[in-house]
């Protein structure tokens, strides 16, 4: 099966790489280039594209290890709101994100329950409104976001509500990350929500998780490829005993291992994103790719650091941006053990 990029995706990847290579503000540059508006419909001055094209932007963000909230804004915000939201929700929330003036995020995790499909957080009806209560962990950019897409359990099943982080009853507790990007534990104590805050789709939680996984995988694919390219350049230029490091058999073998890991992850990610974009059942492919990334990327980055020697731990050298981002991304996926458990449940089921 052919998973090669079409012309549009190739052009998007090239434009994203060029924009992210600029010396000025990369987030503002992404917005001004139109890359944040790819998934918006034409009536909102977007391009009407989907997850496959957005994934190309996120891959290039990962390849550059760019410190921008693209994953949060696009995979956790724009894609699910565009797919699940009402016309009014899309019109209100998406254009400011596309302009680089606002953020959307999602609360995917709960204590000891990453990417839970059955949230412990609840919504109950009271006086014509819904009151949301619960605890969400590892929510990126929660304080900076306009709305937090929040999965809850209701008397009728699961749902996703759009929560204002400044609303009464919302408490934001900062939590540390490896890359230093903003992240919070979000506590909800009878936070009032209107019917207009509900994403209208019975499968909203599952759809949100698919977009989150696809986006994280795209970023991870780029991170691994970028770290590999950086390491190949280093061992090709750095000399020892009068010879480039790359000519030593032990070094060549280790960089080959990183290459194999990168290409394997790339194939798994490309397959999963392609199926999701084509409207096919992509859940198994997303689970496989998520496990491979969570399992292989940290080991590959450790090898890259080893091959750099002391240079690899220099904070003025970019490799630490890749390894830190990979650690945070692994948590966003739930970790390798969690991903393997999900695959085991799939096989057992």
Instruction: Give the count of beta carbons closer than 10 Å to the beta carbon of residue 57.
Output: 30
Using alpha carbons only, what angle is made at residue 266 by residues 263 and 267, rounded to the nearest 5 degrees?
Answer: 90
Mean pLDDT over 158-169 rounds to 97
- Indicate the range of 13-22, 227-236, 300-309, 336-345 predicted with least confidence: 13-22
212 CA to centre of own chain: 6
CB distance 263 to 296 below 8 Å: no
> What local confidence, expressed as pLDDT, does residue 2 receive?
45
pLDDT category of residue 23 using cuts at 50, 70 and 90: low
pLDDT category of residue 26 using cuts at 50, 70 and 90: very high
> What local confidence, expressed as pLDDT, does residue 1 receive?
40
Q: What is the DSSP letter of 113?
A: B
- Kindly report the average pLDDT of the chain as a whole number: 94
Give the tens place of pLDDT for each residue, 61-94.
999 999 999 999 999 999 999 999 999 999 999 9
Mean pLDDT over 316-341 rounds to 96
208 by DSSP, 3-state: which? Answer: helix
Mean pLDDT over 177-181 rounds to 96
> What is the percent of the chain with per-residue pLDDT over 70, rounded to a whole number?
98
> What local confidence, expressed as pLDDT, does residue 256 receive?
96
Which residue did the predictor score with more confidence, 22 or 317? 317
Q: Enumerate the H helices of 65-181 as residue ranges.
A: 70, 79-84, 87-98
User: pTM of the predicted model, to two decimals?
Assistant: 0.96
CB distance 285 to 271 below 8 Å: yes
pLDDT category of residue 347 using cuts at 50, 70 and 90: confident
Q: Which two tokens stand for residue 239?
A: 């000399």
Which residue pairs, CB below 8 angstroms and at least 24 apart, start in 171-179? 172/142, 172/143, 174/143, 175/137, 175/138, 177/324, 177/328, 178/323, 178/324, 178/325, 178/327, 178/328, 179/67, 179/321, 179/324, 179/325, 179/327, 179/328
> What local confidence, expressed as pLDDT, does residue 3 receive?
53
Which residue did the predictor score with more confidence, 142 or 244? 142
Cα dist from 91 to 43, 57, 82, 84, whole Å: 9, 22, 9, 13
> What local confidence, expressed as pLDDT, does residue 4 receive?
57
Question: What sign has the CA pseudo-torsion 108, 111, 113, 119?
Answer: negative
**Longest Cα pair distance anywhere in the chain, in angstroms?**
78
Mean pLDDT over 228-242 rounds to 92
> What local confidence, expressed as pLDDT, does residue 128 receive?
84
Mean pLDDT over 128-140 rounds to 96
Give the tens place of pLDDT for each residue, 257-315.
999 999 999 999 999 999 999 999 999 999 999 999 999 999 999 999 999 998 888 88
Give me the residue label for tokens 């329950």: 113
> What local confidence, expressed as pLDDT, does residue 106 receive?
98
CB distance 189 to 171 below 8 Å: yes
């Amino acid at each position: 099966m052919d998973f090669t990029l079409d012309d549009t995706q190739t052009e998007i990847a090239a434009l994203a790489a060029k924009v992210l290579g600029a010396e000025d503000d990369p987030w503002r540059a992404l917005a001004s280039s139109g890359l944040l508006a790819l998934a918006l419909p034409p009536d909102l001055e977007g391009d009407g594209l989907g997850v496959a094209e957005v994934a190309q932007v996120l891959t290039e963000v990962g390849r550059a290890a760019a410190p921008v909230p693209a994953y949060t804004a696009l995979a956790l915000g724009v894609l699910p709101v565009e797919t699940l939201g009402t016309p009014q929700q899309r019109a209100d929330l998406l254009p400011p994100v596309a302009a680089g003036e606002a953020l959307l995020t999602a609360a995917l995790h709960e204590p000891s329950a990453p990417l839970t499909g059955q949230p412990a957080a609840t919504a109950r009806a009271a006086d014509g409104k819904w009151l949301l209560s619960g605890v969400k962990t590892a929510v990126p950019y929660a304080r900076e976001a306009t709305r937090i897409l929040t999965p809850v359990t209701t008397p009728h099943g699961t749902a996703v509500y759009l929560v204002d982080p400044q609303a009464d009853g919302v408490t934001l507790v900062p939590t540390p990350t490896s890359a230093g990007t903003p992240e919070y534990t979000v506590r909800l104590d009878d936070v009032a929500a209107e019917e207009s805050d509900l994403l209208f789709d019975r499968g909203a939680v599952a759809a949100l998780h698919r977009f989150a996984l696809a986006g994280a995988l795209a970023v991870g694919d780029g991170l691994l490829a970028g770290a590999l390219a950086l390491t190949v350049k280093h061992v090709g230029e750095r000399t020892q005993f009068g010879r480039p490091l790359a000519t030593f058999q032990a070094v060549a073998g280790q960089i080959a291992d990183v290459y194999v890991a990168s290409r394997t992850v790339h194939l798994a990610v490309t397959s999963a994103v392609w199926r999701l974009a084509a409207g096919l059942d992509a859940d198994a492919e997303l689970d496989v790719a998520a496990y491979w990334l969570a399992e292989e990327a940290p080991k590959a980055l450790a090898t890259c650091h080893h091959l750099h020697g002391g240079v690899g731990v220099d904070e003025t050298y970019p490799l630490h941006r890749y390894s830190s981002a990979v650690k945070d991304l692994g948590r966003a996926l739930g970790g390798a053990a969690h991903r393997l458990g999900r695959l085991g449940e799939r096989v057992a089921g």
